[in-house]
Amino acid sequence: MSSPALGSARRPWLLLAPTLVVLGVLLLWPLGRVLVLSMQDFGLGQLVRGDADFVWFQNYRDVLTNERLWLVALPNTVVFAFVCVVLTVVLGTLVALLLQQLRPLWRSLVMMTIMAAWAIPAVTGTYVWVYLFDARAGFLTGVMANLGLIDLATQNLFLDRFWFYAIATLNVVHHGFPFVAVTVLAALLTIPQDLPEAAMIDGANGWQRFRHITLPLLKPVFAIVTILSTIWDFKVFTQIYLMPGGDGSNREVLNLGTWSYITAMSQNRYGLGAAIAVLLTLLLMVITVIYLRTLFKEEES
């Protein structure tokens, strides 16, 4: 007969069991299937026959020895994600600080406006940005041409690696900063007002108040929005794939997500595409762990 203490210790796990089972089926099973697929020579023929031979780590060797990984896909993924995360968090924080200063009515109106950018589907938002930078009829390309920044007769921004990802960055940051703004604003409203007021009386300016009061108090919130933004921006697919050239016709703009999809679906090399997807997952996990360890060390010091 089990003791009451043992029964009470098991009760939380019994209550969590249905949720853990659902998560295991929805998350762990697909992840395990992709991992197995990445170790197989799996193509269209194997898909039809329903069998596949294990090649173990050959797909990973093929990916890691491919110049496209080191010269194109990995730099595009890492640099693009880093820039998007920094701009998203900074812009979202600035907007949150602005919203904090507004009266409730104006705050609500501005929040409704910026949330519209977050509510727009990624597909719709991408096509809007593609239209704005269209080489023939784009409004923003017309403005840039009038300023002498580009020559519409000879230049298509989507064919240039830098401009392609500059436009994609605008798209991703525009879609992602409202989440950061609303999250940081909710945390700002929990800070006791006597702290910044006392600092203001002591002569601290706005930057000093933010650095020494707001930032330390909101560090857990910034950690959350940074990690989520990192995960989202590293695995950006829709915004890249739907832009001209992002579907693989321009190999210079491939990132890990589009490279994995094109390898698997267009070239019917499902095992190799799965290996690229696993490497992207591992890269995300490493970056997240490093960031969390750095954050915890700062809190302990």
| Per-residue three-class SS string for 78-138 | HHHHHHHHHHHHHHHHHHHHHHHHCCHHHHHHHHHHHHHHHHCCHHHHHHHHHHHCCCCCC
Q: State pTM to two decimals.
A: 0.86
Among residues 301, 93, 261, which one has the least CA distance to residue 177? 93
The answer to whether 175 touches 118, Cβ cutoff 8 Å, is yes
172 confidence band (pLDDT: 50, 70, 90): very high
User: 31-45, 50-64, 66-80, 184-198 — which one is most confidently predicted on average?
Assistant: 66-80
55-58 long-range contacts, CB within 8 A, separation 24+: 55/271
pLDDT at 243: 94
* Those residues with Cβ within 8 angstroms of residue 228's Cβ, 6 or more apart along the chain or in another chain: 179
Strands 53-54 and 40-41, bridge-based pairing: antiparallel
* Those residues with Cβ within 8 angstroms of residue 141's Cβ, 6 or more apart along the chain or in another chain: 132, 133, 134, 135, 150, 152, 157
Question: Lowest-confidence range among 12-26, 122-136, 175-189?
Answer: 12-26
* Those residues with Cβ within 8 angstroms of residue 229's Cβ, 6 or more apart along the chain or in another chain: 84, 85, 88, 89, 176, 180
| Higher pLDDT, residue 72 or 4 | 72
Tell me which architecture the domain covering 72-300 has in CATH: Orthogonal Bundle (1.10)
Q: For the chain, which residues make up each domain, given as ranges? A: 72-300
Question: Lowest-confidence range among 13-17, 65-69, 128-132, 263-267?
Answer: 13-17
- What's the pLDDT tens digit per position in 228-274? 899 899 989 999 999 999 988 899 999 999 999 999 888 888 899 99
Locate 34 and state its tokens: 């992709």
Integer Cα distance of 91 and 178 in angstroms: 9
pLDDT at 196: 73
Determine how many CB atoms are found less than 10 A away from the CB of residue 79.
13
In Å, what is the CA distance from 90 to each residue of 38, 87, 222, 250, 276?
37, 5, 10, 31, 31
